[in-house]
Amino acid sequence: MRMQTDIKRNEATKNRPEGDRPLDAPYLFIDVPDFVRQLQQEKAWETSDRNGITIFKSDGITMVVTIVKAGGLIKDNQVDEYLTIHVLKGKARVLTTNGDIELSDHQMVTFHPFIVHSLEAVTDVIFLLSTYSYCPTNDTIVEKTETELDITD
């Protein structure tokens, strides 16, 4: 098993001059409310119906805090990895070919890769979007029996 010791950082940009921050390390403390405040203070929030920031990115997982104004629509989204859409605060509608899903505070929906969906903000909404790569050859995945997981009756 490989131990992560490198720290991967995001560098500041013109649109986010104070954007220098760690994205991957052996462990990270992530202050989501602080990132939400930052997103709401940026020019992108004034000029657009959404803003987002990557808060963690490794070889297999990416986590993005995204804020969307009421009425905002992220149309025909699709990713090539597993996806979770977690509503931290607000109300959203997830539109799929099989019907719509209403989400509110602390609810989430998951998608397999390549599933087309749209996100509509019913109110101002704060999402935690996470993508996960599937790696069937990952030797760190260990199957455990019910007894080992302590889920037996």
Residue 76 maps to a domain: yes
Model pLDDT for residues 13-63, shown as the tens digit of each residue:
666 667 678 888 899 999 999 999 999 999 999 999 999 999 999 989 999
**pLDDT score for 68:** 98
pLDDT for 49: 96
Say which CATH number the domain at 76 has. 2.60.120.10
pLDDT value at position 29?
94
**What pLDDT is stored for residue 9 in this prediction?**
79
Q: In the prediction, which pLDDT does 3 show?
A: 58
pLDDT for the residue 127: 96
Strand extents, DSSP E, the chain: 8-10, 21-24, 50-57, 61-68, 73-77, 82-89, 92-96, 99-103, 108-111, 117-121, 125-132
C-alpha closest to that of 64 among 41, 95, 30: 30
Averaged pLDDT for residues 76-100: 96
Instruction: Answer whether residue 96 is part of any domain.
Output: yes
> Percent of the chain scored above 70 by pLDDT?
78
Residue 79 within any structural domain of the chain: yes
Dump pLDDT digits (tens) for 140-151: 444 444 444 444
Residue 89 lies in a domain: yes
| CA-CA-CA-CA torsion sign (97, 98, 99, 101) | negative
- Domain boundaries, position 112: 8-133
151, part of any domain: no
pLDDT value for 105? 98
What tokens were used for 60?
């297999």
Does 2 fall in a domain? no
What is residue 144's predicted lDDT score, i.e. its pLDDT?
A: 41
Instruction: Count up the domains in the chain and report the number.
Output: 1
The answer to whether residue 45 is domain-embedded is yes
Q: Which of 97, 75, 71, 101 lies closest to 86, judged by CA?
A: 101
Residue 46 in domain? yes
How far is 56 from 25, CA to CA, in rounded Å?
9
Q: Which pLDDT tens digit goes with each residue over 127-138?
A: 999 999 866 554
Residue 125: phi and psi, rounded to 5, are: -135, 145
Looking at residue 8, its pLDDT comes to 81
